[in-house]
Amino acid sequence: MQYPEPISKLMDSFMKLPGIGAKTAARLAFYTLSMDEDDVTDFAKALISAKRDLHYCSICGHITQGDPCEICQDKARDRSMILVVEDAKDVISIEKVRDYNGLYHVLHGILSPIEGTGPEDINIPSLLKRLQSDEVQEVILATNATAEGEATATYLSRLIKPAGIKVTRLAHGLSVGSDIEYADEITLMKAVEGRREI
């Protein structure tokens, strides 16, 4: 039996989201039917508002309502450091820690030859332009510890180091509370490489 067209369209819309398959889309669609009309209207308005009112900061690439973003406008930030991340969600995660007070740069992706993503497809040119300022003394590469994240970090390091700017990488290794016996080989290798004196 086929779903009525409005449900099918709603399911198709949900399936466009990452990680949502047919079963989850059907569950979400039927849940939406059971919601109050005001809640559905508010949900639709929130989607439209996010799409219309948010854009990328012209300096760092973070999501923002104003341009430049609040972080780039903040004069109290340490302008000698730029932390480079893959995605705007990473900025929010690091900001929650409240320990980093420098600036950011969002790449909006990583190098991935398999997916056809090259240097021209991510936000590298604006990073290089920012590094022409004498203020920047260190670039912290905070791409994920995946093969693509490591390749992106290596590529950026090779571009940046000739300019005489210090390039560092976030430490990788064992997470707090984890057991060594359950860690994979790459995690253990990174933990040994990133060891520090206590």
pTM of the model: 0.82
Predicted confidence (pLDDT) per residue in 34-46, tens digit: 999 999 999 999 9
Per-residue tokens: 104: 């950011």
DSSP 3-69: PPHHHHHHHHHHHTSTT--HHHHHHHHHHHHHS-HHHHHHHHHHHHHHHHH-EE-TTT--EESSSS-
Q: Residue 52 has what pLDDT?
A: 96
Give CA separation, 146 vs 114, 149, 153, 181, in Å. 14, 5, 10, 21
Predicted confidence (pLDDT) per residue in 137-177, tens digit: 999 999 988 889 989 999 999 999 999 999 999 877 767 77
Class of domain 5-38: mainly alpha
Give CA separation, 133 vs 6, 39, 58, 78, 141, in Å. 54, 48, 16, 14, 18
pLDDT-based confidence at residue 1 (cuts at 50, 70, 90)? low
Question: How many Cα atoms sit within 13 Å of 165 on the Cβ side?
Answer: 26
pLDDT at residue 122 tops 90: yes
Q: Where are the domains of the chain?
A: 5-38, 76-169
Q: Which fold has domain 76-169?
A: Dna Topoisomerase Vi A Subunit; Chain: A, domain 2 (3.40.1360)
**What average pLDDT does the segment 26-37 reach?**
96
